[in-house]
Amino acid sequence: MRLCSLSDKYKFIDRTIDRLDYHKLKRKEKRLVISYLKKLTGYKKAQLFRLIGRASLGNLVRKKYQRKNPNTVYQPFDVKLLEETDELHFRLNSAAAREILRREHEIFHHQEYANISKVSSSHINNLRKRTIYKNSWVNGTKTNEVNIGKTVPPEANNMPGSIRIDSVSQRDVFHINAVDEVTQWEILICVPQISERYLSPALEILLGQFPFMIFNFHSDRGSEFINKIVAEILNKLLINQTKSRSRHCNDNALVESKNGTVVRKNMGYCHVNQKMVLAINKFYGDYFNLYLNFHRPCGFVTETRVDTKGRERKIYGQYTTPYEKLKEVSKKLKKNFLKPEQSFGKIDIIAYKYSDNEFAKILRSKQEKLFDLNIKMEKVTDLGSN
């Protein structure tokens, strides 16, 4: 049975109580009647008890609402005084605003505040919602939507070229980490500051080190990548820019996980001297990026299961290097994703020149020299400052 109006519900309750002779029923029988009415009317038990009591006294009809005080207490003039106070004090909380209004009248004897000074803290919030309260003043803490990038989840369409990017701070330097979604091809570059002077050439070098064309650039909503400089670079290269959605932490989870398992695990947390940027970039370009893409296997999802609670469980059944994954995807889709100047024959020479352990030994020896150089730089800087 579907009751569409309040009067229909009242009539139904009244008829049911009279028809079943409710007050002569036993307690268990009353419970059945209440459950019956509760299910059909949607009322809670306490409300039903009140309506049944009224129905037993006579016909159950809706009461007419009568306002006790129909006069408006606070006039538009009073609301304007509140608006002016909020504008001068950058809209304090309601209790603080009420205290200011009280002081204006009682301490500083401004008679125009006589009426509004009696307002309660909770009613101040109601007055702020009135149409006469314009709130036209500028709130310095109010966020502004930046029209750069699309707020959508990254879509790779099972093709290499959709990268996710993030920055990792290490005191005086920043590591920019970019990872392809499908192949997990990873490129790292280091900059001394996140600014136009360093970010513009760094991004062009970073994008140029990928062997395939980039068609999508996804980042979080941080200002280091959501700015006009990055947008101009991407527009010039015809690369689509997207940014993570609010409360969707998985949108950029791939590169966030790489920040910990790759950058922090290999570069550590210690202070890096700003003068080390050139040496770090040489280490990245000559050794570390090659190691990540040709000699370090990554886990790839092969199956997604849904448990009894509806949660997705991803099964990482394949472990291979990003380069091998790139070759696998190219063969599967029967398409060459490499840039015109690149070929698998040329890249094979680099990929198979050393075994994984042989190249890892070379990498670690270069890494130790890099860290030793950083320690020397730190000592020179400390002596200079003293």
Q: How far apart are CA 41 and CA 58, in angstroms?
A: 20
165 and 288 belong to one structural domain: yes
Give me the percent of the chain exceeding a pLDDT of 70: 93
Q: Is the pTM of this model over 0.75?
A: no
135-170 pLDDT, tens digit each = 655 555 556 666 787 888 888 888 999 999 999 998
Whether 146 is in a domain gets the answer no
Percentages (nearest 5) of helix, strand, coil residues in the chain = 50, 15, 35
Beta bridge partners of 250: none
Question: Cβ–Cβ contacts within 10 Å for residue 334, how many?
Answer: 6
For residue 23, the Cα-to-chain-centroid distance in whole angstroms is 58
Q: Which residues contact 342 (CB under 8 A, 6 or more apart)?
A: 211, 212
222 and 360 belong to one structural domain: yes
Which pLDDT belongs to residue 145?
A: 65
For residue 126, the Cα-to-chain-centroid distance in whole angstroms is 31
Which pLDDT belongs to residue 23?
A: 84
The whole domain housing 310 covers 153-379
Whether 139 is in a domain gets the answer no
83 and 193 belong to one structural domain: no
51 and 82 belong to one structural domain: no
285 and 199 belong to one structural domain: yes
82 and 50 belong to one structural domain: no
- Residues 101, 113 contacting (CB under 8 angstroms): yes
205 and 343 belong to one structural domain: yes
Whether 259 is in a domain gets the answer yes
* Residue where one domain finishes, among candidates 94, 128, 162: 128
Whether 69 is in a domain gets the answer no
Quick one: DSSP state of residue 141? T
275-285 pLDDT, tens digit each = 999 999 999 99
Beta-strand (E) ranges in 55-214?
150-151, 162-170, 173-180, 186-191
Whether 260 is in a domain gets the answer yes
Which residue in this structure is represented by tokens 């550590």? 268
Which pLDDT belongs to residue 228?
A: 86
Q: How many domains does the chain have?
A: 3
Question: One-letter amino acid identity for 361?
Answer: K
Assign residue 238 the CATH number of its domain: 3.30.420.10
192 and 278 belong to one structural domain: yes
Q: Which residues contact 224 (CB under 8 A, 6 or more apart)?
A: 167, 174, 194, 199
197 and 333 belong to one structural domain: yes
42 and 82 belong to one structural domain: no
309-356 pLDDT, tens digit each = 888 888 888 899 999 999 999 999 999 999 999 999 999 999 999 999
108 and 252 belong to one structural domain: no
* Residue where one domain finishes, among candidates 128, 162, 188: 128
Whether 385 is in a domain gets the answer no
357 and 278 belong to one structural domain: yes
State how far the alpha carbon of 104 is from the alpha carbons of 113, 118, 287, 353, in Å: 7, 11, 71, 82
Whether 1 is in a domain gets the answer no
50-94 pLDDT, tens digit each = 888 888 887 888 777 776 666 678 888 999 999 999 888 888 889
Whether 135 is in a domain gets the answer no
